[in-house]
Amino acid sequence: MIRIKVPATSANVGVGFDCLGLAVSYYSTISFETSDARLIITGSPKEFQNADNLVYQAFVKGCNFLDKPVPNVKINIEGDVPVARGLGSSSVCVVAGLKAASVWYGDAISTDQLLVLATEMEGHPDNVTPAILGGLCVSFLDDQNLPQVVQYHVSDQLHFVAMIPDYEVSTHAARKVLPTTLSYADAIHQVSHCAAMTKALELGDRHMIHEACDDRMHEPYRAKLIPDYSQAKNISEQFGGTMYISGSGSTMMAITANENDADKIVENAQAAFPKWTVRKMAVDSTGVTSEVSERGKVLHR
Ligand SMILES: Nc1ncnc2c1ncn2[C@@H]1O[C@H](COP(=O)(O)OP(=O)(O)OP(=O)(O)O)[C@@H](O)[C@H]1O
Ligand SMILES: N[C@@H](CCO)C(=O)O
């Protein structure tokens, strides 16, 4: 059996629309094993238990890339990463399927190839890059449409709190509300704030994080899709946190430089929104991992 563990990812990190992404310590584990039937999918919501399943689609893409047959397979999807909440559930599926195909055929897909294939499937590299590599990644597509990636260190002094609503916001819907142009002044605002944000995260500079995390590209438009945005932001700021919409929402992520403050945000947000999942997360610096086992015995990782 092949088990693939993929971290959730928080794309954009406020001011890095479609280019910044952070892997966090919240995971889904997807297992793959040989099957008598062509395809069995368990653990996923019913609507995804068919050949259109994104994990399976990515597995097929990986096999095709390697020019290998698509084997009969049983896929079990279990884990924390919720669907359409801005924590990169689609990237989890894509990365898991491609990585499984690679491991199935003896680690035949390199990390660079994985990045290319996953970006092709996702359409943008900001979630898949940290899901594969871990940490805070800045990524963009070059002239040949190939992903280029820079990784940043994130200060250990920072604490992240994910406030995950009990309602979805689909990326498709959240992209439709965005304008099609940006003024020169807003572009300058965005570039300067994004560059400052990466350094501020590296330094753990709470003041600069707060100053830098002021987005003009997506957050003002998407906040309207999250009815509790203002209340969540107030709770975060009341305890010294800086909040941004994770990915395309609905999750909102607060950053603090103090564990006590993070605990207070968890406590207060959970009290205000009892049906939500609110929890502290650390940065995942490893990215996707795999494990091959036989009759319960791990053969290699
Ligand atoms: N367990 C799953 N099984 C199959 N498909 C899934 C699963 N989880 C997510 N998906 C796919 O991913 C889609 C959700 O992707 P979407 O981009 O809207 O949200 P997200 O990736 O969770 O958030 P974001 O991209 O903002 O971080 C689902 O509609 C489905 O196609
Ligand atoms: N950068 C993407 C992330 C969600 O997939 C967006 O904000 O639409």
**CATH number of the domain where residue 91 is located:** 3.30.230.10
Q: What count of residues does the chain have?
A: 301
Q: Are 7 and 284 in contact (CB under 8 A)?
A: yes
- Ligand 2 atom nearest to 175, measured from its CA: 8
What is the pLDDT, as a whole number, of residue 301?
Answer: 78
165/148 same-domain check: no
89/181 same-domain check: no
What is the pLDDT, as a whole number, of residue 296?
Answer: 72
99/189 same-domain check: no
148/293 same-domain check: yes
109/172 same-domain check: no
3-state secondary structure of 13: coil
Q: pLDDT means per 10 residues in the chain (301 residues)?
A: 98 97 98 96 91 97 98 94 94 98 97 97 95 98 95 97 96 95 98 98 97 98 97 98 97 97 98 98 98 81 78
What is the pLDDT, as a whole number, of residue 297?
Answer: 76
239/116 same-domain check: no
Question: Which domain, by its residues, includes 107?
Answer: 2-152+284-300
Our answer on whether the CB atom of 250 is closer than 6 Å to any ligand 1 atom is: no
Name the token pair of 132. Answer: 């594969």
Q: For 87-188, list the strands marked E by DSSP.
A: 136-141, 147-152, 159-164
Element (H, E) at 293: strand 289-294
75/98 same-domain check: yes
What is the pLDDT, as a whole number, of residue 8?
Answer: 98
Query: 278-298: b or e for each residue (b if 16 or more CB lie within 10 Å)?
Result: bbbbebbbebbbbbbeeeeee
6/143 same-domain check: yes
127/230 same-domain check: no
Question: pLDDT of 127-186, one tens digit each?
Answer: 999 999 999 999 999 999 999 999 999 999 999 999 999 999 989 999 999 999 999 999
Instruction: Specify the long-range contacts of residues 192-195, CB closer than 8 Å, at least 24 apart.
Output: 193/15, 194/15, 194/16, 194/19, 194/20
User: Which of the ligands is closest to the CA of residue 131?
Assistant: 1
For residue 87, how far is its CA from the centre of ligand 2 (angstroms)? 10
125/204 same-domain check: no
296/271 same-domain check: no
Q: How many domains does one find in the chain?
A: 2
Nearest protein Cα to ligand 1, atom 26: 86
For residue 80, which phi and psi values (nearest 5 degrees)?
Answer: -90, -30
Q: Looking up tokens 């909040």, which residue turns up?
A: 243
CATH number at residue 208: 3.30.70.890
Q: Report the sign of the C-alpha dihedral through residues 71, 72, 74, 77, in that order.
A: positive
Best residue among 90, 168, 245 to mutate for probing ligand 1's pocket (most ligand atoms within 8 Å of CB) is 90
7/120 same-domain check: yes
